[in-house]
Structure 1
Amino acid sequence: MTFDAVTEWTAAQQRVIGLVGAATTAAVGSRVPACPDWTVRDLLSHMVGIGADVVAGHEPDDHNADWTAAQVEARRDADVTDLIAEWRGLTEAMVEHLRTAGDRPINDIVIHEQDLRGALRIHGATDTPAAHHVRDRFAGRLGDRLGDLPCLELRGNDWDWRSADGEAAVVVAASDADLARALVSRRSAAQLRAWTISGEIGPYLDAFAILGPLPETDLSE
């Protein structure tokens, strides 16, 4: 698939706006399983806040908890309509950022769109160029974190990845979408163990905690 950051980011933004715009009041106030400290409205506040901070040049390398919490708190009194309006107002500046400063914002919008879909129980957008781009990027990060561990293979329906040459010591087999979410720390250790068809996944689990501890409960979208 051909990947264009501007096309993919704006398409994801429109999908998210459509999802939250159509959500009921109860759904907007419900918890996000992948981000259990946040409601759907909080997650949207974070997504809008990322855009505001990125275009303002206020983006720490580690996307730390204080930074993300401030985005949500600053929009505590905003409703969904307000948040959508603010985000749309940032689109032009974000497009310029994507063209000139790199495509890192693709990571956030792809990951959080799926977090949102998990909360709303609306499947979709798992087979886009952006989803593949983020999956491949984080597979590289996983490889870097594995160090000297023997070869790990992730075996999907249409996608296959190995951390090193040679025969795999551990094979994890699941859907392409589940493997992509596992790469961004959105699948539990129990799920990774259940999908391991060869070898022992235990020594590899810490490497999957790229974006924080693995969830304590199983996740799906």
Structure 2
Amino acid sequence: MSDEMSTTGAVPPDDTAMLAAYVASAERIVGLAGTLGDRLKEVRVAACPAWSGHDLLAHVTSVCRRVASPRPIDGGDHQQWIDREIAQRVRHSTAEVAEEFADLVPELEAVMSGRPAGALVVDLVTHEHDLRAALGGTFVDHSLGLHQALSATVAWVGGLKLVQSGCLTLSAPSARAEFGDAGAPTRVTFPDDWEMWRTLAVRRSREQLEGYPRSGDLQPLLDVTSRYPLPEQPLSD
């Protein structure tokens, strides 16, 4: 089994396209922040229960700054770094944080030009849709960045080698991914590419994972989504 995504009627984007996908998502997030302003401080993000919409913006801004101006994390604790960076921006207006993000994006583009940007796309587009789900209504648009993010997520998750026993095949209308090398097969079928991506983005609860049409054992699907704790409650986005 391979750890790569295969698609029907689409070619996985190259590094240039991935970087363009990051920039496009950043511009959309800045646009949302400009529209809503400090109202984002009152928006709770179900996919990241500890965060407001403002906190989510602070997080993606801090990631952008770290990539644009590489420096080690003090003490090496990634979660503490995330929490500290969000706390540093909690008293700022949403407009100020959005401006910081917008100013940093060209710097990141320069640093990442010609380099793999898939992991950045995974993080940013995932959080963009976390925010859109929290806003609801006309803010929700599953098409935005979906196929670039799905391709990047499959490649990244495949490289983590999370499926230790058995082999897992995920299928959606225009995407197919295989994880693991040997053992009893598990096959999971998703109704659309969105559900496959949000599963791999660890945005589906165990209850939701159990609900997808499946042949074989559930464990490989739990393995491939094990890099973060699963949501405790089903997410609707």
Normalization by structure 2: what TM-score? Answer: 0.81
1:95 corresponds in structure 2 to 109
Query: Considering only aligned residues, what root-mean-square deviation do their CA atoms show, in Å?
Result: 2.5
Deviation string for 1:90-130 (max 9, x for gaps)?
A: 12211112115541322221221121122112123455452
> Is 1:215 matched with 2:231?
yes
1:178 corresponds in structure 2 to 195
Match of 1:86 among 100, 105, 111: 100
Deviation string for 1:53-110 (max 9, x for gaps)?
A: 22221355x8821011111011011111101111111122111121155413222212
**Alpha-carbon separation, structure 2, partners of 1:203 and 1:161:** 13
> Is 1:163 matched with 2:179?
yes
1:112 aligned partner, one-letter code: H
Quick one: structure 1 residues 126 and 189, their matched pair in 2 at CA, closer, same or farther if it must change by over 3 Å? farther
**5 Å matches for 1:112-127?**
112-121=127-136, 122-126=140-144
1:67 aligned partner, one-letter code: W
Match of 2:209 among 189, 192, 197: 192
The answer to whether the 8 A contact 2:200-2:224 is kept is: no
Quick one: structure 1 residues 108 and 165, their matched pair in 2 at CA, closer, same or farther if it must change by over 3 Å? closer
By relative contact order (CA 8 Å, sep 6+), the higher-ranking structure is 2
Residue 169 of structure 2: SS of its match in structure 1?
strand
- Same amino acid, percent of matched pairs: 26
1:58 corresponds in structure 2 to 71
Quick one: structure 1 residues 24 and 151, their matched pair in 2 at CA, closer, same or farther if it must change by over 3 Å? same
2:154 corresponds in structure 1 to 136
1:105 corresponds in structure 2 to 120
2:203 aligned partner, one-letter code: R
**5 Å matches for 1:12-51?**
12-23=25-36, 25-51=38-64
Segments of structure 2 that go 5 or more residues without pairing to the other structure are: 1-10
The answer to whether the 8 A contact 2:186-2:220 is kept is: no
**Alpha-carbon separation, structure 2, partners of 1:63 and 1:107:** 21
Residue 229 of structure 2: SS of its match in structure 1?
coil
Residue 201 of structure 2: SS of its match in structure 1?
coil
> Is 1:6 matched with 2:19?
yes
Quick one: structure 1 residues 138 and 126, their matched pair in 2 at CA, closer, same or farther if it must change by over 3 Å? farther
> Is 1:146 matched with 2:163?
yes
Deviation string for 1:139-192 (max 9, x for gaps)?
A: 4146x1112x22211111211222257897222111211111111211111111
Segments of structure 1 that go 5 or more residues without pairing to the other structure are: none
Quick one: structure 1 residues 185 and 39, their matched pair in 2 at CA, closer, same or farther if it must change by over 3 Å? same
Q: How many residue pairs end up in the alignment?
A: 217
Pick which of 150-159 and 64-73 moved more: 150-159
